[in-house]
Amino acid sequence: MKHTHRPGVLPRTPEDPSAPLSPGTHTITVPHGHARVELRYHVAGSGPVCLAHSGGPGIGWEYLRMPGLEDSLTMVYVEPVGTGDSGRLPDPRDYTVATYAHFLHAVVQHLNVPRFALLGHSHGGFVAQRYALDHPAQVTALVLYDTSPVADEEFWSAAVTAMERFVKRHVEDHPEVADYAATLTTRLGLLDDDGATAVLRTLMPAYLYDYWGREAEFAPARRTLRMYAAPSLGEEPPFDVRDELPLLTPPALVLAGRHDFICGPRWAALLHEGLDNTELAILEEAGHLVHLEQPARFDASVLSFLHAQGVVRGPRNS
């Protein structure tokens, strides 16, 4: 297989600061109300441009590195406002899907690329849907990865129920999972960043299909996960674009792990049924982090779709 390599460390400053798509870490300043907020994004790879928005809200972007896609695409990873070295909003109530879409558009304008592919994972998929609805002409193709068109009370109740099933399956061999369902409902806004990070790292095994069977492989990633508390304080109605899906014109790949407890096949099917121009891919032996668990299959699915849309010249050779 071509892509067993780990993601390389990106330079903290871009190779060419005057070139918005130069490999490395870039910083722009984005107007937001009366404030001006710094936002970082990271460029890796070569080929057509694909912007990637990570999940959360409040999870550090690093987990979403996709080295196999970097072989065929110029990946632009947004470091969402409120996380990492990006700036913080003066009012944490402003951490909304619309705000993230606003900051994403600022990156698009800075890059000055007329059209691009857009990948959103989990909560980042909410942002990608909102962005593609608001700016359809600029998005050549959309990858909606382990996400949903709705995150209402039923969505969260289903996630808790699925977590309870996970606990029942594993608590005998791994007693530490006994509190996972309660931990899932922790109000992160009452914690500091270290506390929010501890919650995320605690729960990571539930986001994977077979964490303990591959613990030597996944434990280092678990130790590097970061979560930031303030973005969970955003105030907005429950996300729901189901009625708008027929208006979402860019072709979309809806991709989910078969065993994703939070954004699994049920919610992928809602997207697939609501969109007019879509392809559905449910990947086996994977949970919420398919690109870590099944990278070759994940990359092949994404690149095959983008090839069919004319975004990349051909699928990656495996």
Q: What is the pLDDT along the chain (318 residues), one digit of tens a residue?
A: 334 446 777 877 887 878 999 999 999 999 999 999 999 999 999 999 999 999 999 999 999 999 999 999 999 999 999 999 999 999 999 999 999 999 999 999 999 999 999 999 999 999 999 999 999 999 999 999 999 999 999 999 999 999 999 999 999 999 999 999 999 988 888 899 999 999 999 999 999 999 999 999 999 999 999 999 999 999 999 999 999 999 999 999 999 999 999 999 999 999 999 999 999 999 999 999 999 999 999 999 999 999 999 999 865 444
d(CA 156, CA 53): 21
Verdict on whether the full-model pTM lies above 0.85: yes
